Structure 1
């Protein structure tokens, strides 16, 4: 119960607020709804993308990561790229209830968006990856996903002169390795940042950027509806894990924290950025529309 059981299951004002936020590329608890200046300040976008000291940004590295991300040779079958599950036209997801892996087999969970991952650690629905460098090659090597051993991929790419040149430009050496592939992919993924949306212009002081219904939705979102308890900050996520009562045998974060009852069936709070292009919703794709999401929080079903 999110404290909204006395309102209709579909709230146009709340939906308008969600859809106002949209595409470029652990927040404090929200301020009281009667303190609009402080509250809006908590949703202000950062000015720069953070890159780790161990993997600093370079144009050459980002360009290499971009090329790798869209290359189906990263899969064992040479038919699936990272973009197969993280399509830029679909909010960097795939519009499927659950992802499809090697041999067109359905996986257990939905493909999460890669928007704004530079700020999003830990990663994955269950938080099992600490960094983008750690996460980037996981799906490549997973037998059920892209099914490509890293040694085989490195040998395949090493036979391509253009790739040897790109690795030399990015890393100073034509040697192609798993860690270098991971660093390039992670660098590119950190550049995938939501564009400034009407919501951002409103936060920055343009009172005409969103309409009255969306402004009412913002008040609900941070007040009675209590959405901001989990979807806080400019990315609309607390980067934490919650059990929201979905009917699923998947225990999520609980698999890694078995002694914490609150983490059983808990999954990472997804960002709400670009929400209009990212149906269906939830870690298992069980909510087909935004209306279904709000109905779940309203009724518990």
Structure 2
């Protein structure tokens, strides 16, 4: 899927694989800035898996399903309940609220840049966006609707039946085609063109001198880019950064790996200023709190990530890093709500 708008200007076509692992970036010398900037350049196309290729009709159907409250048991919730486009595709509360007004244990991760994410959920329990889409619909504390019942409910709506038969002529409406449509829409949700991107594209005035210094710190002394690498600012790996001792996170699926205990997937930093509060549990309200947590080194634990060490950053340096992170937020996207079938 190609784009011609400003967000993707001056970018050469690139081949992107969801399985690419980005190497940590640690160079800090001035002569390396150009190479560092290039490694954070926005891609020119969205990668879609061959098992679920993009079509405009499939994405439109997926968008309707993303905002469809009939995919919840009480028909009062949809995917956007926890992934609200007005708040960076998250919600501005400590943790999301599920069925029966139940406060969930974790913050709702953003769906921004889904096409470049793997695996899914904070603990990585879903290998694909299609698999991830099934979880919240069926979860009793979330949308609370068994998937077969969801299919049966949609199947009673003639327009949906016609839509699925058109998009999936060989299969029609099934659990798999339903989540394929949702995943296709989610892969079209891409973070907006930010001042940082304009700087990468050659506009030296796009970000402040403080943000430029912050980029040098981010990729060097502050050690941020060891985990927050690549254009989406994540290594898609799991790290215990010392935010909890209660939730074992990835440890549930890697019981024999000490470093997986209390570890959670590195989130993207794109559009961060729209997505407070922060961390897997929404425990930090501001970027300043996040910065202080890293400066302190995250405490002491056998499972603490080896990358976590106290940082000797002055107050000015901390502000520079925060200013850089703020430069990763573009204009708020306007999302037109779909007209749902009757």
**Same fold per TM (> 0.5)?**
yes
Say which SS state the counterpart of residue 242 (structure 2) adopts: coil
CA contact (8 A) 1:24 1:194 kept: no
Mapping for residues 131-170 of structure 1, pairs under 5 Å: 131-170=128-167
Say which SS state the counterpart of residue 182 (structure 1) adopts: helix
CA contact (8 A) 1:31 1:39 kept: no
Q: Please, what is the CA RMSD of the aligned residues? A: 1.5
Identify the match of residue 281 of structure 1 among 278, 285, 307.
Answer: 278
C-alpha distance in structure 2 between counterparts of 1:240 and 1:155, whole Å = 37
Counterpart of 1:33 in structure 2 is 28
Q: State the number of aligned residues.
A: 279
* Residue ranges of structure 2 left out of the alignment (5+ in a row): 1-5, 9-20, 300-342
Counterpart of 2:307 in structure 1 is none
Identify the match of residue 186 of structure 1 among 183, 187, 195.
Answer: 183
TM-score (norm 2): 0.79
Counterpart of 2:84 in structure 1 is 87
Counterpart of 2:332 in structure 1 is none
Larger mean Cα displacement after TM superposition, 40-49 or 27-36? 27-36
- Structure with higher RCO (Cα < 8 A, 6+ apart): 1
Counterpart of 2:67 in structure 1 is 70
- Does 1:101 find its partner at 2:98? yes
Larger mean Cα displacement after TM superposition, 31-40 or 62-71? 31-40
- Does 1:112 find its partner at 2:109? yes
1:173, CA displacement in angstroms? Answer: 5.7
* Residue ranges of structure 1 left out of the alignment (5+ in a row): 1-22
Mapping for residues 1-301 of structure 1, pairs under 5 Å: 26-34=21-29, 35-172=32-169, 175-299=172-296, 300=298
**CA distance 1:24–1:266, change in 2 (3 Å):** farther
1:77, CA displacement in angstroms? Answer: 0.6
1:31, CA displacement in angstroms? Answer: 4.8
Larger mean Cα displacement after TM superposition, 28-37 or 224-233? 28-37
C-alpha distance in structure 1 between counterparts of 2:41 and 2:28, whole Å = 16
**CA distance 1:24–1:192, change in 2 (3 Å):** farther
